[in-house]
Amino acid sequence: MFYLDPMYFVYALPALVFGLWAQWRVTSTFQRYAKVPTSSGITGEQTAQLLMRRTGHQFGVARTQGTLTDYYDPSRKTMFLSQSSVQNSVASVAVVAHEFGHAIQDSEGYAPMRLRGAIVPAISASSWLAPLLFIAGWFFSSPQLIWAGIIGFAAAVFFAIVTLPVELNASNRALHLLQSNGILASQELPGAQAVLSAAALTYLAAIAQTIATLLYYLSLVSRRR
> In the sheet that 78-82 helps form, which strands lie side by side, from edge to edge?
60-64, 78-82, 71-73
CA dist., res. 91 & res. 96, Å (int) = 9
Q: Would strands 71-73 and 78-82 be described as parallel, antiparallel, or unpaired? A: antiparallel
DSSP structure class, residue 89: S
Q: What is the CA radius of gyration of the chain?
A: 20
Alpha-helical segments (H) within the chain: 7-34, 44-55, 90-108, 111-139, 143-180, 189-224
Residue 70, SS3 per DSSP: coil
45 tagged catalytic:
no
CA dist., res. 46 & res. 85, Å (int) = 11
Q: Is residue 130 a contact partner of residue 152, using CB atoms and an 8 Å limit?
A: yes
Catalytic residue among 99, 108, 167, 188: 99
Point out the residues that are catalytic.
99
